Amino acid sequence: MSTQILAPAAVLVAWSLFMLLWMAALRLPALAKLDMPPEKSRGGRGSDLDGVLPDEMQWKAHNYNHLMEQPTIFYALVAIFAIGGATQTDVWLAWAYVGLRVVHSLWQAMVNTIPVRLSIFVLGTVVLVAMAVRAVMLTL
């Protein structure tokens, strides 16, 4: 089993947890200041806070949610490569994807202009597609 391919996945997991902590560090004190009655906060979702908390604060939450979406495909691909045997190209593609996700996170969390964010997302998706094609070739 090739374990070198697991390092980018481990880093993306750590990054996702960092984003969770960043979001919580900003959001929890802001929620405490809202002094919301318990019956109003019961059963709520994070997206319910859009328009309640400042947009810049919600950007971190939105990004954390994004890290729970498309990267699930990345994790599956990494598992396929770890079991089937990753080449150095596969490892470099995995690192490229992780690097682009980190840049995407930072951009979304701090600046959040859509054209740039979309460009970073599209680049990451292209890398993910390349990884998927290589995984299919490996497994057939």
* Cβ proximity of 123 and 100 under 8 Å: yes
DSSP H or E stretch at residue 41: helix 38-41
CATH numeric code, 6-45+52-139 = 1.20.120.550
pLDDT in tens, 26-58: 988 887 787 777 666 666 666 667 667 888 888
Report domain extents, the chain.
Answer: 6-45+52-139
In the chain, how many H helices and how many E strands?
Answer: 6, 0
Dihedrals phi, psi of 43, to nearest 5 degrees: 70, 10
Q: What value does the mean pLDDT of the chain take? A: 91
Q: Which residues of the chain have pLDDT under 50?
A: none
